[in-house]
Chain A
Amino acid sequence: MNLPNDHRTGHHDEADQAFVQHARELWQEAARRIDPTTAGQLRAARRRALDSARTPTSHATRWLIPTGALAMVALAALMVHEPAPQQLPVTPMNTAVVAVDADNDDNDLPPDAEQADPDLYQDLDFYGWLAANQNYMAAH
Chain B
Amino acid sequence: MNSAVGTLEAGFLADTRELPTTLDAFLAQVEKRAFRMAELQLRQREDAMDAVQDAMLRLVKHYRDKPAAEWAPLFWGILRRRIVDLQRRRKVRSIVVGWFSGGRDGDGDDMPIWEPADQGPGPLERLHDVQSYADLAAAVGKLPRRQREAFMLRMLEGLDVAETAHAMGCSEGSVKTHLSRAVHHLRDQLEDWR
Contacts and interface: CB of A to CB of B under 8 A. Distances in A.
Interface of A: 1-4, 6, 8, 10, 12-17, 19-24, 26-35, 37-39, 41-43, 45-46, 48-50, 52-53
How many interface residues does chain B have, given as a range? Answer: 35 or more
Contacts of B53: 45, 48-49
Contacts of B52: 42, 45
Contacts of A1: 1-2, 4-5, 176, 179-180, 183
Give the secondary structure class of A's interface: helix
Contacts of A27: 33, 36, 133, 136, 156
Interface string B1-13: 1111101100011
Interface of B: 1-5, 7-8, 12-13, 23-24, 27-28, 31-33, 35-36, 45, 49, 52-53, 56-57, 59-61, 64, 120-121, 123-129, 132-133, 136, 155-156, 158, 176-177, 179-181, 183-184, 186-187, 190, 193-194
A20 B123 CA distance: 22
Given A41-B49, A48-B57, A49-B56, A31 B36 contact: yes
